[in-house]
Each structure stands twice: as structure tokens, then as C-alpha cells.
């Protein structure tokens, strides 16, 4: 009897350890901003893929043109609006970037990439309080932690540490 109890207890401990390990793994989620090697936009259209390729090459003008077509064709694609906003931010058009990030968040209030990027845009505009609001949103959304949260937290720390 004692051996059976010990064996059952060990199995139970093993299951608990396995569950805790699984919970600690990074989540994969919307926005393509998570840790991991898979292409987060693999199921997207060819035009989306072309826009993402232009973005990865630093051709923000071309990316913004292509993403504008993507959102026209698929107006409910939060990822496309997020990356359209990113393209405009990189071009220095912060008003348009904020508008497109806002649209992405309107479609998906838990879009991690949009929260990160809008927070970074607020830092560029000197609005630390609004950047921190989006960091707080990411803290609630990510549950344990995620790349978007860590990136925005680092950006805020760098902003706060800069000489004034």
C-alpha cells in the first residue's frame, strides 16, 4: 500500500512539473511578435508577403504602399494595419502611424505588436505616460511575459535613462 501511494504521489508531482513547464513556455500569438522561428504571416496573401518582405528590407515607402492595398482588400486584418502603422512610423509620419495602430487595436484590442509599436511611437513623441499605458496593457495581455512587452519595457527604460 505504501509503495502504491508513493508511486501515485510521484506521478502527480511529475504531472504538476510538466504543467508548470508548459505554462512557462513562450506563447505564440497575434501580431507575429513572439519568440520562435516560424513565419507568423505564413497564411497571409501574396501581397501581404510582398509588403512584409519590403518592410524587412527597410523599404518603408514600398511597404506602406503595399500594406495600404492589403488593408483595402482585407479591412479586418489587424496585422496589416499594425505593419502599415509601422511603415509610416519608420517614414516619420507619426500621425498616420498612430491612426493605423489605433485601427489595428480597434480590430484586435489584444494585438501585442500594435501595443508595442504604438507605445514606441508615443516615446518618439515624448509621451511617456501613454507609452506606459500600453506597457500596462501588454502586461495584462501577455500573462507571463512576451517579446512585445520586453521590447517596450526596454524602450521605456532607455527613454527614461536618456540625458535631458
Residue 140 domain flag: yes
Retrieve residue 131's grid coordinates: 507609452
pLDDT at position 145, please?
85
The domain in which residue 111 lies consists of: 46-161
Is 70 exceeded by the pLDDT of residue 67?
A: yes
Confidence of residue 46 (pLDDT cuts 50, 70, 90): very high
**Angle at CA 81, nearest 5°, toward 145 and 69?**
150
Q: What digits encode the pLDDT tens for the residues 80-123? A: 999 999 999 999 999 999 999 999 999 999 999 999 999 999 99
Is 90 exceeded by the pLDDT of residue 159?
A: yes
Residue 114 domain flag: yes
Residue 66 domain flag: yes
Average pLDDT of the chain is 84
Residue 56 domain flag: yes
Percent of the chain at pLDDT exceeding 70: 77
Cell match 505588436: residue?
113
Element (DSSP H or E) covering residue 111: none
Give the chain's domain count: 1
pLDDT at position 143, please?
83
**Greater pLDDT, 131 or 39:** 131
**Greater pLDDT, 87 or 164:** 87
Q: Note the pTM of the prediction, 2 decimals.
A: 0.77
Residue 36 domain flag: no
Residue 19 domain flag: no
Residue 13 domain flag: no
Provide the CA 82 distance to its chain's centre, in angstroms: 9
Retrieve residue 54's grid coordinates: 519590403
Residue 38 domain flag: no
Say which CATH number the domain at 87 has. Answer: 1.25.40.10
Mean pLDDT of the region 5-28: 41
pLDDT at position 14, please?
43
Amino acid at each position: 500500500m505504501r509503495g502504491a501511494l508513493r508511486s501515485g504521489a510521484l506521478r502527480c508531482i511529475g504531472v504538476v512539473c510538466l504543467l508548470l513547464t508548459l505554462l512557462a513556455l513562450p506563447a505564440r500569438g497575434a501580431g507575429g511578435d513572439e519568440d520562435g522561428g516560424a513565419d507568423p504571416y505564413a497564411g497571409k496573401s501574396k501581397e501581404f508577403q510582398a509588403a512584409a518582405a519590403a518592410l524587412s528590407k527597410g523599404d518603408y515607402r514600398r511597404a506602406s504602399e503595399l500594406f495600404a492595398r492589403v488593408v483595402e482588400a482585407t479591412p479586418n486584418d489587424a496585422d496589416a494595419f499594425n505593419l502599415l502603422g509601422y511603415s509610416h512610423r519608420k517614414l516619420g509620419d507619426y500621425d498616420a502611424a498612430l491612426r493605423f495602430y489605433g485601427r489595428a487595436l480597434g480590430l484586435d484590442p489584444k494585438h501585442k505588436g500594435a501595443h508595442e509599436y504604438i507605445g514606441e511611437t508615443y516615446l518618439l513623441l515624448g509621451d511617456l505616460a501613454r507609452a506606459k499605458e500600453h506597457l500596462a496593457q501588454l502586461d495584462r495581455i501577455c500573462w507571463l511575459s512576451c517579446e512585445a512587452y520586453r521590447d517596450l519595457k526596454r524602450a521605456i527604460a532607455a527613454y527614461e535613462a536618456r540625458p535631458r
